[in-house]
Amino acid sequence: MQRLGMGGLLAVAEGSEQPPKMIVIKYRGKEIWDNVLAFVGKGLTFDSGGISLKPGQGMEQMKMDMGGGAAVLGAMEAIGRLKPRINILAVIPATENMPSGKALKPGDVITTMSGKTIEVINTDAEGRLILADGITYAKKLGAERIIDLATLTGAVVVALGGVATAVITNDEAFYADFQKSAKKAGEKIWQLPAFEEYKELIKSPLANLKNSAGRQAGTITAGLFVGTFAEETPWIHLDIAGTAWVDKDSTLTPKGASGVMVRSLVQIAKYYAKHGMN
């Protein structure tokens, strides 16, 4: 990670005694490694907030901050059993976010694997830092379309509650394919806007980006921050902070960790295996 310059993941991991991991799984459904669909999942195994410490009440639930990574692993297990004729790449940047004398601090400027620099405003906006390197690494490994999943923002819970997963994208045709797949899987999603005005909110006077734009449009600005690292690669962002952990059983999920979006990821893999990605 140091050799590759994964400054986002390494910075978040600084406060923890546990070393970070970059989990990579390749499913080769075809002989040639091309037309690769990538799933990138946030694997934040515990989120204290770091130096920008979260309130103590409810912090025990922050073991669920690896919900995006868990969903990717679940989807890959199902894909391995179903064996669709498509190439799938899974990338999961994984670490804790802890406060310590070595921890990342508000005001720090870090350099990601992409070369883009980030001014750290809030160390509790850490998921987008590790996803930055996860997405860049997925592209390095051949990803031609990317879906990232993350328990990214509390703002999405305010906006959509525990009913629907928020979506931001840079490619409407890709989103249309995913929307059909999610509907067939029985999972509810809702697209949020990606207007240029929102992108202005994450610009920094000290770096290429800042990792927090404040309360306004928090789910949108966080998603667009992540999308900056996808660049021109077709990309879909799924904010599952409201849907990854549920308070009661439903027809699709048990109470607690829901496994949300596993079905939709499997469904879009099956769809592209049948119809192709281009």
Q: Which token pair is 269?
A: 């893999």
Q: Which amino acid is at 221?
A: T
Q: Which token pair is 95?
A: 């670490």
* Catalytic (active site) residue 215: no
CATH number of 207's domain: 3.40.630.10
Report whether 38 contacts 231 (CB < 8 A).
no
Count of domains observed in the chain: 1
Span 242-253, pLDDT tens digits: 999 988 888 888
Confirm whether 72 is domain-assigned.
Answer: yes
Q: Of residues 21, 26, 54, 199, which has the active-site annotation?
A: 54
In the prediction, which pLDDT does 32 show? 97
Angular region, 248: left φ>0, alpha ψ -120 to 50, beta rest: beta
Q: Which token pair is 78?
A: 């199902």
Buried b (16+ CB within 10 A) or exposed e, 30-45: eeeeebbbbbbbbbbb
State the residue range of the domain holding 255. Answer: 7-275
* Catalytic (active site) residue 116: no
pLDDT at 118 over 90: yes
* Measured distance CA(151)–CA(81) in Å, rounded: 26
Residues β-bridged to residue 145: 37
Confirm whether 2 is domain-assigned.
Answer: no
Confirm whether 42 is domain-assigned.
Answer: yes
Q: Of residues 30, 63, 85, 128, which has the active-site annotation?
A: 128
Confirm whether 231 is domain-assigned.
Answer: yes
Confirm whether 198 is domain-assigned.
Answer: yes
Confirm whether 269 is domain-assigned.
Answer: yes
Confirm whether 255 is domain-assigned.
Answer: yes
Confirm whether 1 is domain-assigned.
Answer: no
Is the model's pTM score more than 0.75?
A: yes
Span 20-46, pLDDT tens digits: 999 999 999 999 999 999 999 999 999
For residues 219-244, average pLDDT = 98
What is the β-pairing status of strands 21-28 and 87-97? antiparallel
For residues 192-208, average pLDDT = 98
Q: Phi first, then psi: what are they for 235, rounded to 5°?
A: -145, 140
